[in-house]
Amino acid sequence: MVARAEKTKILCGHTKLPNHEVFDAEARAALLGLQAALKDPKPNTPQIYISAWTTWKQYSNSKASPGDQANQSLGFFKKLPGHGQTTPEHPAYSQAGHQAGSPEGALATLAQFWSDKAPKRYKDLGIGLEKRPLELLLPRAALGRLLAARSVHGDFAEYHECFKHEDAPLTCSCSRRKEPSHFYYCREGRKAAAHPWGQQPVADILTTKGGFTAYADWLEKSQFYTAICRRH
């Protein structure tokens, strides 16, 4: 993680979060960046812009990596009166700086940025930008699994292969590869608890209120990720 105030680097480092999902690390990085920005001794402008995104290591060959499919860039902006402006070298910042004079302007800027730059995986799923996403009401564990399945950032075979996690198990207890949609097809998961989502396709389960609410309930009943497709 790197945080900058204007052109000055104010925070740089890395750390480990054992037994956490990828989105926990991104949220933690955003928090540390904000804390560092608030301590900036030169509050010359009325706004702070916070951005968190994940950059994936590319495969050594020409095969597309999860990063090509999922999360090449993701921006989040927040207007905080009375503090300096962090300006990492990322396209989102130059766009936000022109239009984020108000909370409404910042939201409109981010909406346009998301429309243009949303990861392909999110575009394929039809996930837009919402001011109050309903999935945030899910239990934290279920939300983490949902975001992992949407972004392909999590305990999946392709993710571990990308980062060369040699000690990570790549298969479920049913012997099939761990994939974002594996919960839908796993035989052992069906035995543990009946699917409550009926004939809904995977995309609807991951993106609609009825789908991801049923998904969260099923995860709790089946104990899918704690007893069947256990984390590495």
Q: What are the C-alpha distances in Å from 67 to residues 51, 116, 119, 174, 212?
A: 18, 17, 9, 27, 24
- How many CB atoms are closer than 10 A to CB 202? 18
pLDDT of residue 41: 62
Amino acid 62 reads: S
Taking only the tens place, the pLDDT of each residue in 78-107 is 333 333 333 444 444 444 444 445 566 777
pLDDT of residue 175: 96
Sign of the dihedral defined by the CA atoms of residues 179, 185, 189, 193, in that order: positive
Those residues whose C-beta lies under 8 Å from the C-beta of residue 120, and which sit 6 or more positions away, are: 68, 69, 70
Q: What is the pTM of this model?
A: 0.68
Taking only the tens place, the pLDDT of each residue in 12-46 is 777 777 666 666 777 777 777 777 767 766 655 44
